[in-house]
Amino acid sequence: MATEVIMPKLGATMEGATILQWYKGEGEPVQKGEPILEVQTDKINIDVEAEASGVLLKQVYEAEAEVPVNTVIAYIGQAGEAVGGDPARSTATVNSETATVSTAAALQTGSGAEQTVSVSAIVGRPRATPSARRLAKLYGVDLLAVQGSGPHNRIQKVDVEQFVAVRQGDEPARAPAASTPTPAGVPRFSATVEQAQGTTESALPMPREATRIPVTGVRKVVGQRMASSAFSAPHVTLTSEVNAKEVVSLRNRLLPVIEAQTGHRLSYTEVIILAVARALRRNPMLNASYQGEYIEVYENVHVGMAVAVPNGLVVPVVRNADQKGLLQIVQECKQLAQAARENRLKLDQLSGGTFTVSNLGMYRVEAFTPIINMGETAILGVGRLVEKPVVVAGSVEVGPMLTLSLSFDHRVVDGAPAAQFLTDLCYLLEQPEQLIL
């Protein structure tokens, strides 16, 4: 009997993934444990491995297809062996009333709940490539009205172009040559006033040129999660200035030592992460999560580090940061940041964070209001070091000042506990020798 290859569910919030490429074609031999395709989740790119040895009998979906989790994407078996039908196509024929199960019933069925979610997501949703969906959205086209020309009637980009052309009574719609550069892979459209007036469809592009960048992948996920956090958690932000004279001095002294041992340059981010971890140990309510009926206070301190990547940001996690020394934190932070920029982060490196640090000190940003990462209680925003007049022992001198912005969930903690955490953090940064004791 043929073995099904399933789109894996790698996290509680993962709903689907996009197939980037197939390493094996239909009819080619595969070995158990061998990667057969690459998929892109909302966080990382991963390889899906074969669960059995044999021949890749069928690819149910093509590259660029967006596939819900727990859906069959391929079959592996013996050459000539019969396989099941197209899961997506057969699912579409299921009566929507019987395909949708109540949440309570789904929870009672255990693992069947995930299968129910996958089925419901497919019902009534036509099969189309991502480029076709983007183009349809730009022109306001209902894909249910478009006849697909691809395998299993999958709607291609050209099908949408032809549909728009018929609707407008014109040649197939094409992106006109733009007078200004357009990013690679981004469609550019314009419409004349006459075209706009000659159609009853208000969804056509406005009579002006503009570059439209599809909101997909990491950018889409970041937007959804930040909006969800901003509108669900009551944010309060406290700010404080730190006299960073001693931190600067400590970094200058340790810089050659750490670079000689690790090959990496010590940054202020790593010092701040260590200080945050120690301050969280003293203030455990900031190392927690609001769960509706209860507040979950975490035993371990896992500090996330916001890293900018193309089209968004990711937050790799330094685990048990409060139990590590500065040398080890430098090594881990550099490795995580490099893996993030190269899109090589593993799922366990992106999950489990209990607090996040977002440092914009490399830009001309002195202070900002960060949004809490979902599932956490607080986030620290770090601005740039700025030389300012400082009063020290009754005298005015110029020194490096650093602004910290702490956003916290007011459902979990009140102002006083959050202020105590920020006070402890400032103390550790102004007396950084405490970090290496």
- Same domain as 339, residue 199: no
User: Which amino acid is located at 237 in the chain?
Assistant: T
- Same domain as 383, residue 353: yes
Final residue before a domain boundary, out of 80, 99, 122: 122
- Same domain as 170, residue 62: no
Between 186 and 15, whose confidence is greater?
A: 15
- Same domain as 142, residue 107: no
In this predicted structure, which of 68-77, 85-94, 375-384, 426-435 has the lowest mean pLDDT?
85-94
Per-residue pLDDT, 79? 87
| Confidence category of residue 362, pLDDT binned at 50, 70, 90 | very high
User: Which amino acid is located at 105 in the chain?
Assistant: A
- Report pTM: 0.62
Say how many domains are in the chain. 3
DSSP codes of every residue in 165-217: HHHHTSSPP-PPPPSS---TT--EE---HHHHHT-S-TTSPPSS-EE-----H
Q: What is the mean pLDDT of residues 13-40?
A: 87
Nearest to 321 by CA among 360, 361, 364, 278: 278
* 96: pLDDT strictly greater than 80: no
* 355: pLDDT strictly greater than 60: yes
Per-residue pLDDT, 124? 42
CB 63 within 8 A of CB 22: yes
- Same domain as 97, residue 10: yes
- Same domain as 139, residue 115: no
DSSP codes of every residue in 345-358: --HHHHS--SEEEE
* 147: pLDDT strictly greater than 90: no
Q: What is the mean pLDDT of residues 235-243?
A: 97
SS (H, E, C) 139-170: HCCCHHHCCCCCHHHCECHHHHHHHHHHHHCC
* 395: pLDDT strictly greater than 80: yes
- Same domain as 226, residue 85: no
Half-sphere exposure of 317 (CA within 13 A, CB side): 18
User: Which two tokens mark 171?
Assistant: 């040649």
- What are φ and ψ of residue 339, in 5° steps? -65, -35
* Interval 14-25: pLDDT, tens: 778 888 889 999
- Same domain as 151, residue 169: yes
User: Which two tokens mark 188?
Assistant: 């550019």
Per-residue pLDDT, 221? 76
* 428: pLDDT strictly greater than 90: yes
Between 85 and 164, whose confidence is greater?
A: 164
CATH number for the domain spanning 280: value is: 3.30.559.10
* 95: pLDDT strictly greater than 70: no
Q: Report the alpha-carbon distance of residue 331 to residue 250 in Å, rounded.
A: 18
CATH number for the domain spanning 63: value is: 2.40.50.100
Per-residue pLDDT, 42? 67
Cβ burial, residue 234 (10 Å; 0-12/13-18/19+): exposed
Averaged pLDDT of the chain: 80
- Same domain as 227, residue 188: no
Q: What is the mean pLDDT of residues 50-61?
A: 92
Question: Tokens 């955490």 correspond to what residue?
Answer: 421
In this predicted structure, which of 154-158, 174-178, 239-243 has the lowest mean pLDDT?
174-178
Per-residue pLDDT, 417? 97
Cβ burial, residue 262 (10 Å; 0-12/13-18/19+): middle
* Interval 271-289: pLDDT, tens: 999 999 999 999 999 999 9
Residues with catalytic roles: 410, 414
User: Which amino acid is located at 332 in the chain?
Assistant: E
| Confidence category of residue 43, pLDDT binned at 50, 70, 90 | low
Per-residue pLDDT, 319? 97
* 403: pLDDT strictly greater than 60: yes
Final residue before a domain boundary, out of 122, 139, 172: 122
Between 373 and 109, whose confidence is greater?
A: 373
Cβ burial, residue 180 (10 Å; 0-12/13-18/19+): exposed
* 144: pLDDT strictly greater than 90: no
- Same domain as 239, residue 202: no
Q: Report the alpha-carbon distance of residue 25 to residue 37 in Å, rounded.
A: 10
- Same domain as 242, residue 169: no
* 309: pLDDT strictly greater than 90: no
Q: Which domain holds residue 186?
A: 130-211
Final residue before a domain boundary, out of 211, 240, 272: 211
User: Which two tokens mark 250?
Assistant: 């400590």
- Same domain as 409, residue 279: yes
